[in-house]
């Protein structure tokens, strides 16, 4: 941070840090007892300005020089200045993770932030999509994000200060790369590439690092790999088309095969070493941030869920702080709309509740005389819920009830800790959870009996009952409901949540857990644009339609899928991209501008095949008069930029047919719409 801190400033922050030492240590203990496995977190106390700076930099202290950080800083500052917006926390995905606490937060806010951060850190460490970035490395536990970004900052800074290189050129080059930052293959393990062309597969990334550290000049590195590089080039010349399969990672393709356009010479020339280097860095950063963009709802919901469990259910906020905390929570969750915090948290609760409900129902269905047909008639759900209430000794733990705790089933109690609590070493009034295990806490916070979820069990539909009943693995029979309930696994909900947080991303998460009930309760609807009226109209409130539209917004970062189809198009080394059409057309204006940027990274003409929807004026007129929507016609187009001008020409349908997906339809317009 550019600001130098005065001593007074430092002492003040140290004092705050000292007060937070205990909450930080205990939040981690609690998180781990609850089953979270976060990366270690380093906490920093910072002031308001520093917080703004960090947010502008995307959570890191050092980024490459670029106007976009200035833009975000400007926005952040104005937001704070004009709206009193309060930044609570920022945590970055790294091992160890770094979290930043604003010094002006109240203690309750700080505690909330800390619990929230611990859950994020667990998500970073355990979600497989985050693993794609670290997975290609020799040591998967290392993220090294701060170090990487710092290295990029220094390298780009050096290029910009190099008298041989025009600073504006570097900035422009970065912009070109950023236009493609979402055009990567985010579902694959990130493969780091070397600073020059050449086979990278055999070369361990550690070696690449070492080469970097040796500080070899680009020329030397070029010589080392020169032969291989030439061989590869020659081999490519022999091919008629490449890549063999359409390649989504456009950034990597232009990095390997692109050139720069030399305006003076009027032709493509090899990229400068710094240009390749910048491309590599931008691509690495795009991969690093991709996981966060893919798991926004899950990750925020996850943090909100565990924050709430720790802060409210486990009273991590002291009594006097609780009001303050409730206020904070209301601000965050109540921001309206499809806010990732509340949507995510509700979905996680849904995962927990359905799993727990399924567990209970599976037990009940094994009771003699109970089947999916009669379950709702013969079982009294209120009685069931009563039985499922946690025992009093577990529910409220004080110094005086330690003997009762000792009587609880062994798997719930940490007997060693209990011993220490008896000796007064553990303050159970403040930290009752310390004498419990994961299973004990799961029992203590069993979701189905919580006030807000009490109706969940009885709301089970006949369909779901049937589904569970039909596929039940009939390994045990019970004589009574009581006997069946004794076998209920109270950790089932949490266990399932931990599985889901490992393997899902927002798309699969929404797809699997966004329910009709949720959509209807929250009055969600889809809207579509009408060519006849020139306006957006409500199109549907059917759950499957809403879900479809939502998925469109989360699939592939909410962006259309574009892939490289040919790197030797027209047999003239032109680039051919294809838009994998899913029924929603491209913004052609933006696509043309993007092609101009790609031209700079390819050096030769660039082409894009796409499908557009066209309606003729006459049909629109007719439709208007009849209060209908004109039927658009789908047509193939080839958009081309040759360095001078953009042209768009029609192409026959069979040239684009392979791009069109038949099995998806994101259009939610009803047949009788505007009538």
Partner 1 sequence: MGLKDDLERFREVGEQRREDLADFIQYGDLGGSRPGEIKIPVKIVSLPEFEYDRRDKGGVGQGDGGTPDVGQPVGQPQPQPGDGDGEDGDPGEEGGDHEYYEMDPEEFAQELDEELGLDLEPKGKKVIEEKEGPFTDLTRTGPDSTLDFERMFKEGLKRKLAMDFDEEFLRELCKVEGISPREVFEWARGENLPVSMAWVEEAHEEVADERGTWSSIEEVEANVERESVQQKIRREGIKHVPFRREDERYRYPEIIEEKEKNVVVVNIRDVSGSMREKKRELVERTFTPLDWYLQGKYDNAEFVYIAHDADAWRVEREDFFGIRSGGGTKISSAYELAAELLEEYPWNDWNRYVFAAGDSENSSNDTEERVIPMMEEIPANLHAYVETQPSGNAINATHAEELERHFGTDADDVAVAYVNSKEDVTDAIYEILSTESDSDE
The reply to whether 546 sits near partner 1 by the rule CB under 8 A is: yes
The residue within the footprint of partner 1, chosen from 45, 132, 297, 436 (CB under 8 A), is 297
Shortest distance, CB of residue 64 to partner 1, whole angstroms? Answer: 9
The reply to whether 79 sits near partner 1 by the rule CB under 8 A is: yes
The reply to whether 246 sits near partner 1 by the rule CB under 8 A is: no
C-beta closer to partner 1: residue 176 or 444: 176
C-beta closer to partner 1: residue 297 or 436: 297
The reply to whether 646 sits near partner 1 by the rule CB under 8 A is: no
Phi, psi dihedrals of residue 579, rounded to the nearest 5°: -95, 115
User: 447, 348 in Cβ contact below 8 A?
Assistant: no
Residues 181-220 that bind partner 1 (CB under 8 A): 181-183
* Contacts of 83 by beta carbon, 8 Å cutoff, 6+ apart: none
Shortest distance, CB of residue 73 to partner 1, whole angstroms? Answer: 6
The reply to whether 68 sits near partner 1 by the rule CB under 8 A is: yes
Give the 3-state secondary structure of residue 352.
Answer: helix
Q: 72 vs 48, 67, 69, 93, 369, CA distance in Å?
A: 15, 9, 5, 20, 64
The reply to whether 179 sits near partner 1 by the rule CB under 8 A is: yes
Tokens describing residue 20: 């937070």
Q: 29 vs 25, 40, 42, 636, CA distance in Å?
A: 6, 12, 15, 59
Residues 321-340 that bind partner 1 (CB under 8 A): 332, 335-340
The reply to whether 26 sits near partner 1 by the rule CB under 8 A is: no
User: 601, 256 in Cβ contact below 8 A?
Assistant: no
C-beta closer to partner 1: residue 74 or 395: 74
Tell me, by CB under 8 A, how many residues bind partner 1. Answer: 110
Phi, psi dihedrals of residue 46, rounded to the nearest 5°: -135, 165
The residue within the footprint of partner 1, chosen from 48, 261, 518, 527 (CB under 8 A), is 527
Shortest distance, CB of residue 69 to partner 1, whole angstroms? Answer: 4
The reply to whether 584 sits near partner 1 by the rule CB under 8 A is: yes
Q: How far is CA 405 from the centre of its chain?
A: 40
Shortest distance, CB of residue 486 to partner 1, whole angstroms? Answer: 40
The reply to whether 91 sits near partner 1 by the rule CB under 8 A is: yes
The reply to whether 533 sits near partner 1 by the rule CB under 8 A is: yes
Angle at which helices 340-364 and 319-333 cross, to 10°? 110
Of the listed pieces 13-21, 213-221, 398-406, 550-558, which binds partner 1 according to CB under 8 A? 550-558
Phi, psi dihedrals of residue 614, rounded to the nearest 5°: -125, 140
C-beta closer to partner 1: residue 229 or 557: 557
Cα–Cα distance for residue pair 493/446, rounded to 1 Å: 8
Check whether the bond before 21 is cis (ω within 30° of 0). Answer: no
The residue within the footprint of partner 1, chosen from 42, 75, 188, 430 (CB under 8 A), is 75
C-beta closer to partner 1: residue 432 or 603: 603
Residues 134-163 that bind partner 1 (CB under 8 A): 157, 160
C-beta closer to partner 1: residue 426 or 510: 510
Shortest distance, CB of residue 575 to partner 1, whole angstroms? Answer: 14
The reply to whether 88 sits near partner 1 by the rule CB under 8 A is: yes
Check whether the bond before 405 is cis (ω within 30° of 0). Answer: no
Cα–Cα distance for residue pair 380/310, rounded to 1 Å: 32
Shortest distance, CB of residue 401 to partner 1, whole angstroms? Answer: 33
Cα–Cα distance for residue pair 348/309, rounded to 1 Å: 12
* Contacts of 619 by beta carbon, 8 Å cutoff, 6+ apart: 630, 631
Shortest distance, CB of residue 407 to partner 1, whole angstroms? Answer: 42
Shortest distance, CB of residue 507 to partner 1, whole angstroms? Answer: 10
Nearest one of 466, 472, 407 to 440, comparing CA atoms: 407
Nearest one of 218, 179, 180 to 198, comparing CA atoms: 218
Cα–Cα distance for residue pair 61/46, rounded to 1 Å: 12
The reply to whether 615 sits near partner 1 by the rule CB under 8 A is: no
Of the listed pieces 288-296, 320-328, 352-360, 447-455, which binds partner 1 according to CB under 8 A? 288-296
Give the 3-state secondary structure of residue 664.
Answer: coil
C-beta closer to partner 1: residue 5 or 458: 5
The reply to whether 293 sits near partner 1 by the rule CB under 8 A is: yes
Q: How far is CA 138 from the centre of its chain?
A: 24
The residue within the footprint of partner 1, chosen from 29, 106, 503, 522 (CB under 8 A), is 522
The residue within the footprint of partner 1, chosen from 593, 621, 633, 665 (CB under 8 A), is 593
The reply to whether 588 sits near partner 1 by the rule CB under 8 A is: yes
The reply to whether 110 sits near partner 1 by the rule CB under 8 A is: no
Residues 39-58 that bind partner 1 (CB under 8 A): 53, 55-58
The reply to whether 313 sits near partner 1 by the rule CB under 8 A is: no
Handedness of CA 568, 571, 576, 580 (dihedral sign): negative
**CB environment 134-160: b (16+ within 10 A), e (fewer):** beebeeeeebbbbebbbbbbebbeebb
């Amino acid at each position: 941070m550019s600001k130098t801190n005065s001593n007074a400033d430092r002492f003040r922050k140290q004092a705050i840090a000292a007060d937070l030492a205990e909450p930080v240590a205990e939040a981690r203990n609690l998180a781990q007892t609850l089953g979270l496995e976060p990366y270690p977190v380093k906490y920093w106390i910072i002031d308001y300005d520093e917080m703004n700076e960090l947010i502008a930099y995307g959570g890191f202290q050092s980024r490459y020089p670029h106007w976009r950080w200035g833009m975000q800083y400007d926005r952040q500052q104005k937001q704070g200045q004009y709206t009193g917006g309060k930044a609570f926390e920022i945590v970055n995905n790294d091992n160890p993770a770094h979290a930043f606490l604003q010094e002006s937060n109240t203690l309750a806010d700080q505690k909330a932030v800390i619990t929230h951060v611990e859950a994020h850190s667990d998500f970073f460490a355990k979600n497989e999509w985050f693993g794609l970035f670290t997975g290609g490395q020799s040591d998967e536990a290392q993220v090294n994000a701060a170090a990487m970004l710092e290295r990029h900052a220094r390298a780009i800074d050096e290029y910009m200060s190099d008298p041989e290189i025009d600073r504006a050129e570097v900035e422009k080059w970065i912009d070109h790369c950023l236009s493609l930052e979402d055009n990567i293959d985010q579902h694959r393990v990130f493969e780091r590439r070397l600073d020059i062309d050449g086979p990278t597969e055999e070369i361990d990334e550690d070696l690449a690092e070492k080469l970097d550290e040796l500080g070899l000049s680009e020329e030397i590195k070029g010589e080392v790999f020169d032969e291989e590089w030439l061989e590869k080039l020659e081999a490519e010349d022999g091919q008629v088309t490449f890549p063999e399969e359409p390649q989504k990672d456009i950034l990597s393709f232009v990095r390997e095969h692109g050139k720069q356009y030399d305006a003076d010479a009027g032709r493509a020339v090899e990229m400068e070493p710094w240009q390749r280097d910048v491309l590599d860095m931008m691509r690495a950063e795009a991969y690093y941030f991709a996981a966060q963009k893919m798991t926004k709802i899950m990750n925020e919901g996850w943090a909100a869920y565990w924050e709430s469990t720790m802060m409210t259910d486990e009273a991590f906020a002291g009594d006097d702080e609780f009001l303050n905390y409730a206020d904070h929570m209301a601000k965050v969750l109540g921001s309206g709309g499809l806010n990732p915090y509340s949507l995510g948290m509700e979905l996680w609760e849904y995962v927990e509740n359905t799993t727990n409900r399924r567990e209970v129902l599976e037990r009940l269905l094994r009771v003699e005389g109970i089947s999916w047909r009669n379950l709702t008639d013969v079982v009294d759900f209120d009685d069931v819920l009563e039985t499922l209430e946690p025992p009093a000794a577990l529910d409220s733990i004080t110094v005086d009830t330690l003997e009762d705790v000792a009587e609880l089933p062994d798997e719930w109690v940490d007997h060693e800790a209990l011993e220490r609590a008896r000796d007064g070493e553990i303050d159970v009034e403040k930290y009752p959870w310390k004498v419990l295990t994961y299973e004990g806490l799961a029992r203590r916070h069993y979701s189905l009996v919580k006030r807000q979820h009490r109706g969940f069990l009885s709301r089970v539909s006949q369909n779901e009952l049937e589904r569970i009943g039909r596929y039940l693995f009939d390994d045990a029979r019970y004589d009574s409901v009581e006997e069946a309930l004794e076998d209920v696994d109270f950790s089932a909900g949490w266990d399932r949540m931990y599985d889901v947080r490992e393997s899902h991303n927002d798309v699969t998460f929404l797809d699997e857990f966004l329910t009709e009930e949720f959509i209807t309760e929250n009055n969600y609807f889809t809207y579509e644009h009408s060519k006849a009226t020139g306006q957006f109209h409500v199109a549907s409130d059917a759950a499957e339609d809403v879900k479809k539209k939502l998925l469109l917004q989360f699939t592939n970062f909410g962006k259309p899928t574009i892939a490289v189809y040919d790197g030797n198009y027209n047999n003239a080394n032109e680039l051919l991209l294809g838009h994998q059409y899913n029924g929603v057309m491209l913004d052609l204006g933006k696509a043309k501008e993007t092609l101009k940027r790609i031209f700079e990274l390819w050096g030769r003409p660039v082409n894009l095949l796409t499908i557009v929807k066209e309606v003729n004026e006459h049909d629109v007129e007719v439709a208007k008069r009849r209060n209908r929507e004109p039927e658009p016609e789908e047509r193939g187009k080839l958009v081309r930029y040759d360095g001078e001008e953009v042209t768009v020409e029609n192409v026959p349908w069979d040239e684009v047919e392979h791009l069109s997906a038949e099995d998806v339809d994101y259009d939610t317009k009803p047949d009788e719409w505007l009538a």
